[in-house]
Homo-oligomer: A and B are copies of this chain.
Amino acid sequence: MADDKKLTPRATDFSAWYNEVVLRSELADYSPVKGCMVIRPNGYGIWERMQRQLDDMFKATGHQNAYFPLLIPESFLHKEAEHVEGFAPEAAVVTHGGGKKLDEPLIIRPTSETIINSMFAKWVQSYRDLPLLINQWANVVRWEMRTRLFLRTTEFLWQEGHTAHTTHDEAEEEARRMLGVYRDFMEGYIAMPVITGRKTNAEKFAGALRTYSCEAMMQDNKALQAGTSHNLGQNFARAFDLKYQSEEGTTEFAWNTSWGVSTRMVGGLVMTHGDDNGLRVPPLLAPIEMVIVPIYKTDEERALVLGAADRIAKSLGAWDLRESARLRIHIDARQGIKPGAKYYEWELRGIPLRLELGPRDLAANQGVLVRRDTRAKRPVSLNTLGEDVADTLSAMQRDMLAAALDRREANSVRQHISYDAFRELMDGQGGFVYAGWCGDAACEAAIKEETKATIRCLPDEEFRSAEAPTSCLKCGRAASDEALWAKAY
């Protein structure tokens, strides 16, 4: 599966470490198409679990799935002035089809606000048809210059929610609700804590009224924008004539939202939890939760140990009748590979638990359970293995979130910082800096120019500092907002 060479340590070169982990744990591979990646089964297994969980959460909040065309007439992009500015430069353009030049070029969707709202306009007549709550699982293409596996690829997989409402406030509530769903998912499943907040005008989605985002801190102290949710106002409704007849009989434009998360989250998972031995996958997203590695010398011992492993896998795989409580177990029965080499491989792949099982263990009715996160080993009785494994997995899920949270807070600056000190910090170890902002886009642009740090968001209340900063980090004028500054992916 993987060669035995040590990974480049994170401290030496975080970026090299990331690529090595992704490639050697076989999450993904480079493809022959520039900027496009192949998601291999180990990576797709994590994405599938993300999808399944998010899909359940979207349905629980009243959304239905649908599917809209991959190809969008170029003219659609031009109907919303900011939207075309943001997306036209990244477009992949289809000019020929079926051997002929097309009358109008088609672009591969970079996002689907235009085509979806053009359909909504056809479906919505009356306020009774609203709200319209739709989600789509799809691939999108944005022509990127510098690409990185999972983090920024020309094609990526995502979901995009698109909704239409009768009022601004209802759209705002929806945009905020889905941001909350994203946060719950990222913290509850990826064990990746996020700061939620509003984007500045310079950073908002092209065509949105307001953009909210989830910002996570990676182990190199850079921010990863892990999901966004937009209140689109009536911008797309006006562009695509999405109107409804109100209860009072007047004709009104609808209010839209859109929101999305992508395969980028897999990269976030790697950079949040990986260590110098490889990947560490949070149990809830692990395609395999526990691998059993049999230890033996003779054929007799092999038969004995594999027989026991099989019984354990069968009984724990169904130890509770509910599907959701079944453990996902794999027995590594490969021959000609030493146990140590197997340990190394499964650690590289980040499988949460390893059960080492040898003849002496069996004689004592026990096994040795090893946690991937702490690498702590302990003997466990086979009598109570089901509960023990389930408890350990729950503890790991909690501990991984807590560890990521501690790391983030240890690398966040909330006390007053001078601009010089801020520049030095951004040149060096980086991190999250909470500081005042005067609200002037010129200060925001100057800081970006000078330090490469950007305002990741204007954090929601619960993330703001106990004492609000009073002056702008850059110009010293009175602060209108507290801003979260960081360098970002």
* Chain A interface, DSSP helix/strand/loop, else mixed: mixed
Which of A93-101, A246-254, A352-360, A363-371 participates in binding chain B? A93-101
Query: Chain B contacts of A32 at CB under 8 A?
Result: 73, 76, 115, 118
- Chain B nearest CB from A134 CB (Å) reads 7
Please state if A323 and B323 are interface contacts (CB–CB under 8 Å): yes
Chain A residues 451 to 481 lying within 8 A of chain B, measured CB to CB, are none
Query: Chain B contacts of A119 at CB under 8 A?
Result: 29, 31, 38
Please state if A93 and B92 are interface contacts (CB–CB under 8 Å): no
Does A40 count as interface, using CB distance less than 8 angstroms?
yes
Please state if A41 and B66 are interface contacts (CB–CB under 8 Å): yes
Does A188 count as interface, using CB distance less than 8 angstroms?
no
| In the complex with contacts A41-B64, A45-B64, A36-B69 CB distance below 8 A | yes
Does A44 count as interface, using CB distance less than 8 angstroms?
yes
Protomer copies: 2
CA distance A76 to B33 in the complex (A): 11
Query: Chain B contacts of A338 at CB under 8 A?
Result: none
Does A90 count as interface, using CB distance less than 8 angstroms?
yes
Partner of A40, one of B66, B92, B93, B95: B66
Does A208 count as interface, using CB distance less than 8 angstroms?
no
Query: Chain B contacts of A67 at CB under 8 A?
Result: 38-39, 44, 47, 157
Chain A residues 61 to 85 lying within 8 A of chain B, measured CB to CB, are 64-73, 76
- Chain B nearest CB from A157 CB (Å) reads 6
Among A47, A69, A108, chain B packs the most CB atoms within 10 A around the CB of A69
- Chain B nearest CB from A313 CB (Å) reads 16
Nearest to A103 among chain B residues (CB) is: B34
Does A145 count as interface, using CB distance less than 8 angstroms?
yes
Query: Chain B contacts of A138 at CB under 8 A?
Result: 139
Does A380 count as interface, using CB distance less than 8 angstroms?
no
- Chain B nearest CB from A154 CB (Å) reads 8
CA distance A32 to B88 in the complex (A): 19
| In the complex with contacts A31-B68, A41-B134, A145-B98 CB distance below 8 A | yes
Interface size class of A (residues with CB under 8 A): 35 or more
- Chain B nearest CB from A458 CB (Å) reads 31
Does A11 count as interface, using CB distance less than 8 angstroms?
no
Query: Chain B contacts of A118 at CB under 8 A?
Result: 32
Query: Chain B contacts of A94 at CB under 8 A?
Result: 92-95, 108
Please state if A48 and B65 are interface contacts (CB–CB under 8 Å): yes
Please state if B155 and A69 are interface contacts (CB–CB under 8 Å): yes
Does A58 count as interface, using CB distance less than 8 angstroms?
no
Please state if B98 and A95 are interface contacts (CB–CB under 8 Å): no
- Chain B nearest CB from A50 CB (Å) reads 13
CA distance A182 to B40 in the complex (A): 24
Query: Chain B contacts of A177 at CB under 8 A?
Result: none
Does A239 count as interface, using CB distance less than 8 angstroms?
no
Does A428 count as interface, using CB distance less than 8 angstroms?
no
CA distance A291 to B32 in the complex (A): 50
Please state if B106 and A70 are interface contacts (CB–CB under 8 Å): no
- Chain B nearest CB from A475 CB (Å) reads 35
Among A37, A39, A323, chain B packs the most CB atoms within 10 A around the CB of A39
Query: Chain B contacts of A66 at CB under 8 A?
Result: 38-41, 44
Please state if B97 and A143 are interface contacts (CB–CB under 8 Å): yes
Please state if B71 and A44 are interface contacts (CB–CB under 8 Å): no
Does A89 count as interface, using CB distance less than 8 angstroms?
yes
Query: Chain B contacts of A312 at CB under 8 A?
Result: none
Chain A residues 131 to 178 lying within 8 A of chain B, measured CB to CB, are 134, 138-139, 141, 143-145, 154-155, 157
Does A122 count as interface, using CB distance less than 8 angstroms?
yes
Please state if A65 and B45 are interface contacts (CB–CB under 8 Å): yes
Query: Chain B contacts of A154 at CB under 8 A?
Result: 71, 97
- Chain B nearest CB from A263 CB (Å) reads 8
CA distance A39 to B380 in the complex (A): 52
Partner of A71, one of B45, B64, B92, B324: B92
- Chain B nearest CB from A444 CB (Å) reads 26
Give me 22 A-to-B residue pairs in the complex whose CB atoms sit less than 8 angstroms apart, sorted by A's number: A33-B69, A33-B115, A36-B69, A38-B66, A38-B67, A38-B68, A38-B69, A40-B66, A41-B64, A41-B66, A67-B157, A69-B155, A71-B141, A88-B99, A89-B98, A94-B108, A97-B143, A97-B154, A99-B143, A139-B139, A322-B322, A322-B323
A-B pairs, 3 with minimum CB distance: A98-B143, A41-B64, A36-B69
